[in-house]
C-alpha cells in the first residue's frame, strides 16, 4: 500500500520543480499534471499555499516575491494546449528590460508588449495592459530569461524602427547605449539580414557610432 505522505511529498516536489523555472508561477494544468486534482486548487489557495494570480494561473507562496510578476504571469497566459508559451516580450517592453539595470524603474510603463505567432488564439479577452503583436519569430531572435522570454536587442530595435512609434532621437540614443554596453556587436548589425528600408534608418541612427 502506497504511503499517502510520501505520495503527497512527490506531488509537491513535481509542482515545485515546474514552478522553480517560472519564478514560482504555474498553471492549473501544470498543477493537475503534477498530481493535484482540480478540486484541491481552491483548498491550497484558501490555506495560503498558493496565490491565485489570474484565471488558471497560480504562484507558490513559498517562493520569494519578484519585482515584475506580470512578466511571468502573462508568459504563462500565452501557453498553448501543449503547455508551450508562445508569447515573447518585445518592442518597448523588451527595450525597457535591456536599457536599464533596474528591474522595474519608475519611468518604465506598466503596459506590456508581446509578440505572438500569427495563428495565436486564446479564449476570452487579452489581459488589460497587454498589447499583442503578431509575427513569426525565429529562435535566433529570442532570449530566455528566468520566467519569460524576450526578443534579442537587435530584433527589439528593428521592431521599434518598423513600428515608428518612438521618437527617432530617443530611439537612437537608446540604441547607442545598448551598443556601448556590448549587447549588440558591430558585426551583428553589419551582417544581419535586414530589409533595405530598415537598414537605411538603422545606418542613419548609427552614424556617430560607426565613426568611433
Model confidence pLDDT, tens digit, residues 87-115 = 999 999 999 898 755 444 444 456 899 99
Its domain, for residue 175, covers 69-210
Same domain, 204 and 163: yes
Do residue 160 and residue 115 come from a single domain? yes
Are 165 and 188 members of one domain?
yes
Domain boundary among the residues 60, 84, 106 is at 60
In this prediction, residue 198 carries a pLDDT of 66
Q: How far apart are CA 19 and CA 117, in angstroms?
A: 25
Supply the pLDDT for residue 18. Answer: 96
What residue ranges of the chain have pLDDT lower than 50? 1-6, 102-108
- 3-class state of residue 16 by DSSP: helix
Q: 155 and 55, same structural domain?
A: no
- Are 56 and 78 part of one and the same domain? no
Q: Model's pTM, two decimal places?
A: 0.83
User: What was the pLDDT predicted at 180?
Assistant: 80
92 in the same domain as 21:
no
What's the DSSP call for residue 119? T
Domain boundary residue, one of 60, 78, 99: 60
The number of domains in the chain is 2
Q: 45 and 19: one domain?
A: yes
The pLDDT, as a whole number, for residue 87 is 97
Integer CA distances (angstroms), 45 to 30, 40, 52, 126, 202, in order: 15, 9, 7, 24, 50
Q: State whether 122 and 175 are in the same domain.
A: yes
Please report the pLDDT score of residue 11 as a whole number: 95
Q: Could you tell me if 38 and 110 lie in one domain? A: no
Predicted local confidence at residue 94, as pLDDT: 94
CB 160 within 8 A of CB 166: yes
- Give yes or no: residues 16 and 88 share one domain: no
Q: Does one domain contain both 171 and 102?
A: yes
Q: What is the dihedral of CA 24, 131, 86, 14, to 10 degrees?
A: 10
Domain boundary among 60, 82, 102: 60
pLDDT at 212: 52
In the three-class reduction of DSSP (H, G, I as helix; E, B as strand; rest coil), residue 113 is classed as: strand
Q: What is the DSSP letter of 197?
A: H
Spatial distance between the Cα atoms of 61 and 48, rounded to a whole number of angstroms: 7
C-beta of residue 36 within 8 angstroms of C-beta of residue 27: no
Same domain for 117 and 93 = yes
Amino acid at each position: 500500500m502506497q504511503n499517502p505522505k510520501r505520495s503527497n511529498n512527490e506531488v509537491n516536489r513535481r509542482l515545485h520543480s515546474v514552478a522553480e523555472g517560472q519564478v514560482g508561477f504555474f498553471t492549473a494544468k501544470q498543477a493537475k499534471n503534477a498530481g493535484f486534482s482540480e478540486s484541491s486548487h481552491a483548498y491550497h489557495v484558501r490555506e495560503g499555499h498558493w496565490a491565485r494570480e489570474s484565471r488558471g494561473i497560480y504562484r507558490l507562496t513559498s517562493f520569494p516575491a519578484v519585482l515584475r510578476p506580470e512578466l511571468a504571469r502573462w508568459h504563462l497566459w500565452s501557453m498553448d494546449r501543449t503547455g508551450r508559451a508562445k508569447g515573447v516580450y518585445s518592442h518597448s517592453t523588451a527595450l525597457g528590460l535591456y536599457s536599464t539595470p533596474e528591474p522595474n524603474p519608475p519611468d518604465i510603463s506598466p503596459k506590456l508588449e508581446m509578440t505572438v505567432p500569427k495563428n495565436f488564439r486564446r479564449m476570452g479577452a487579452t489581459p488589460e495592459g497587454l498589447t499583442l503583436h503578431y509575427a513569426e519569430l525565429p529562435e535566433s531572435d529570442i532570449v530566455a530569461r528566468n520566467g519569460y522570454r524576450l526578443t534579442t536587442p537587435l530584433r527589439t530595435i528593428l521592431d521599434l524602427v518598423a513600428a515608428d512609434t518612438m521618437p527617432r532621437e530617443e530611439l537612437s540614443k537608446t540604441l547607442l547605449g545598448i551598443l556601448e554596453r556590448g549587447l549588440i556587436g558591430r558585426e551583428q548589425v553589419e551582417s544581419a539580414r535586414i530589409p533595405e528600408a530598415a537598414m537605411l534608418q538603422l545606418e542613419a541612427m548609427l552614424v556617430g557610432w560607426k565613426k568611433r
